[in-house]
Amino acid sequence: MTTDGLPLELQTLPAPPKRGRGRPSHAVPSELYATRREEILQAARNVFVQKGYANASLDDVARETGLSKPSLYYYFPSKAHLFFELASQRADEQLILLAKIAEEPDPYECLVQLMRHQVTQVTGEMDFYRYFFDHQPTLEDKQLRAALAKKLAVYSGYFYKSIRRAIIAGILPPIDEFVATQAIFGATFWIYKWFDASRFNADDVLNQLLQMIGVTPAAKARQLPKT
């Protein structure tokens, strides 16, 4: 882990690319600059959720913040950079939480907590997941794509490790960990496609998914002892 809580694998991530237009950014951002930047990110997120990435424009974001478009370029050079910053910020937050869950020594509890986290996050912020995955743009910048892909790989890696531990402990049957991870990750992730808060809540969905894959108190009781 780094000093800011991010997993070790992310220490080598490339920084966002240098800005191509507008005034040069601050070498050390002032408090006012950082605050305004966060306001723009929040405005962009609202606009993307309302209109979808493809239909949203920097003019919309500027209007939401009360800034002129040239002023917006002072903080972000393109819509793609806004998207990257939002996605990267979200990934960093999630990776810190998943790293804490991964410290759970009990394989059963670790898997349950991991699934609970994902179900709660997705059902709680479905608008974000819809815009992030259903409206994700094609990023021209290879550096941006590589950084985002690496963070998503680290994210899914926590599921692989937890599910591998659960298989070894006998909580899950001795099946292929790739198949198991794809099934469990997909079941807890694509919820935003169908979740209906008028019919279910997050706990209902989680409990039914756990029963479906056999991760129940009975499974915990038959957990193999550590060697």
- Range(s) of the chain covered by CATH 1.10.357.10: 79-227
* CATH architecture of residue range(s) 79-227: Orthogonal Bundle (1.10)
- Range(s) of the chain covered by CATH 1.10.10.60: 23-77
Residue 212 pLDDT: 94
- Radius of gyration of the chain measured on its C-alpha atoms: 20
Instruction: Write out the chain's pLDDT in tens, 227 residues.
Output: 444 554 544 444 444 444 445 444 445 568 888 899 999 999 998 898 888 777 889 999 999 999 998 899 889 888 888 888 888 888 899 999 999 999 999 999 999 999 999 999 999 888 778 877 787 666 677 787 788 889 989 999 999 999 999 999 999 999 999 999 999 999 999 999 999 999 999 999 999 999 999 998 887 887 777 65
Residue 28 pLDDT: 54
* SS3 at position 184: helix
Task: Specify the CATH class of 23-77 in words.
Answer: mainly alpha
CA–CA gap between residue 112 and residue 216 (Å, rounded): 9
